[in-house]
């Protein structure tokens, strides 16, 4: 029982981090109907940026997020503007999928050249501290990471619900054509939305680098988990992806505690297959796809 509760705690904390990563992915899908296969690579890029900046400035990794977020926003918006926007519309879906895949590769190659392929981690000195409450271990970093993820999700929610930009984004998600007719600059919204989705990986990357050792190849691991979360939640539904992230975080932690950690990866694959077989639209996705 102790084991199960401990796994639950770990699962909830990790699930929060997945939720943050998946929200960016979902946002991008919602706006552009593009599955961003580079999201994992952006997260790893965020992790490396945080690591380098931390080694250089010795500012706490959690504060560095304020620096890396705008940076990744610009990188994301540039990706959309220069690589995705020019694609021909008639086979844009297939091509943009492959373009994001190529971007993932390019980032992996770039990071391998700059950082080599040894496993790294961000070590601010308190990464192994934990509190013991009623016999249960709560890792400090994971706890902060969880809080940060929740905070970021709330900011994202407010941004989408309360600002003019958010309204433009939601309008574009619902119906790009009418949004354009009503004066929304859909090209800019796409670039900004993509940038915003990528920007979430700054925080996600910092957190990921704090709780797990990573190398440039880690993005494959991440992206297959992320995509499972996004599909389980229902493509395009941010709320759905948050819940799915929690479910998967807890599920994987339980499997890993009760059997072997290796099988935690297979939990994701098994869930992906089951979802596709029995409920292809995910938990909260609409059949039409693209509801936010």
Partner 1 sequence: MTRNGLIRAGLFFGVLIALPFFSTSQWLTNMFIFTLMYVALASSWNLIGGYAGYPSLGHAAFFGFGAYFTAIVFTDSVGYGWSPFLFLPVVGISAAIISIPIGYVAMKTRADVFAIVTITLLFMAQTLAFNMHKLTGGAQGKGIAVPSFDPATFGRPFYFGMLALAALAMGASMYFRQSKIGLSLSAIRSDEDKALGVGVQVNRVKVLGFAISVGITAMAGGVWAYYEGFVYPQFAVDPLITIGMVLMTFLGGRATLWGPVLGAFILVPAQQYLSYQLGANQFYLLAYAAIFLITMLVLPRGVIPTISDKIWLKKKQREAQA
- Give least dist CB 114 to partner 1, A: 9
Closest CB to partner 1 among residues 126, 263 = 263
* HEC letters along 137-162: EEEHHHHHHHHHHHHHHHHHHHHHHH
- Give least dist CB 112 to partner 1, A: 4
Q: How far is Cα 124 from Cα 239, in angstroms, rounded to an integer?
A: 32
- Helix residue ranges, H only, 1-116: 2-32, 39-57, 61-79, 92-115
Residue with tokens 């373009």: 99
- Give least dist CB 246 to partner 1, A: 20
Query: Phi/psi at 132 (nearest 5 deg)?
Result: -115, 115
For residue 160, give both structure tokens: 């989408």
For residue 221, give both structure tokens: 């691991």
Residue 195 half-sphere exposure toward CB, CA atoms < 13 A? 19
Closest CB to partner 1 among residues 97, 138 = 97
Interacting residues of 84 by C-beta distance below 8 A, sequence separation 6+: 32, 34, 96, 99, 100, 190, 194
Closest CB to partner 1 among residues 83, 211 = 83
Closest CB to partner 1 among residues 181, 277 = 277
224 and 248 Cβ atoms separated by less than 8 Å: no
Instruction: Quickly count: other Cβ atoms within 10 Å of residue 254's Cβ.
Output: 18
- Give least dist CB 33 to partner 1, A: 8
Closest CB to partner 1 among residues 7, 235 = 235
Length of the chain: 292
- Give least dist CB 227 to partner 1, A: 4
Closest CB to partner 1 among residues 99, 148 = 99
Give residue 142's region: left, alpha or beta (phi > 0; psi -120 to 50): alpha
- Give least dist CB 35 to partner 1, A: 5
Closest CB to partner 1 among residues 108, 254 = 108
Q: Which residues bind partner 1 (CB under 8 A)?
A: 34-35, 37, 83, 86-88, 91, 93-95, 97-99, 101-103, 105-106, 108-110, 112-113, 117, 220-221, 223-224, 227-228, 231, 235, 262, 265-266, 268-269, 272-273, 276-277, 280
- Give least dist CB 131 to partner 1, A: 33
């Amino acid at each position: 029982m102790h084991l199960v509760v401990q796994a639950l705690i770990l699962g909830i904390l990790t699930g929060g981090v997945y939720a943050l990563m998946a929200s960016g992915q979902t946002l991008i899908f919602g706006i552009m109907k593009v599955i961003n296969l580079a999201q994992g690579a952006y997260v790893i890029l965020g992790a490396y940026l945080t690591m380098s900046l931390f080694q250089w400035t010795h500012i706490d990794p959690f504060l560095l997020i304020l620096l890396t977020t705008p940076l990744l926003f610009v990188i994301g918006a540039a990706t959309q503007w220069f690589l995705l926007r020019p694609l021909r519309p008639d086979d844009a879906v297939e091509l943009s999928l492959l373009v994001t895949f190529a971007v993932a590769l390019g980032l992996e190659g770039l990071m391998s050249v700059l950082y080599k392929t040894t496993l790294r981690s961000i070590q601010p000195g308190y990464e192994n501290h934990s509190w013991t409450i009623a016999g249960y271990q709560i890792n400090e970093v994971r706890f902060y990471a969880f809080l940060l993820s929740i905070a970021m999700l709330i900011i994202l929610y407010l941004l989408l619900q309360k600002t003019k930009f958010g309204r433009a984004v939601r309008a574009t998600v619902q119906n790009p054509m009418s949004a354009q007719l009503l004066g929304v600059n859909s090209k800019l919204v796409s670039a900004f939305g993509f940038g915003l989705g990528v920007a979430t990986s700054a925080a996600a990357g910092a957190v990921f680098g704090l709780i797990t050792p990573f190398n440039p190849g880690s993005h494959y691991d991440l992206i297959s988990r992320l995509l499972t979360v996004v599909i389980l939640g229902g493509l395009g539904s941010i709320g759905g992806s948050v819940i799915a992230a929690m479910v998967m975080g807890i599920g994987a932690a339980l499997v890993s505690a009760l059997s072997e950690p290796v099988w935690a990866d297979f939990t994701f694959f098994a869930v992906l297959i089951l979802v596709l077989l029995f409920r292809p639209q995910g938990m909260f996705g609409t059949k039409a796809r693209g509801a936010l």
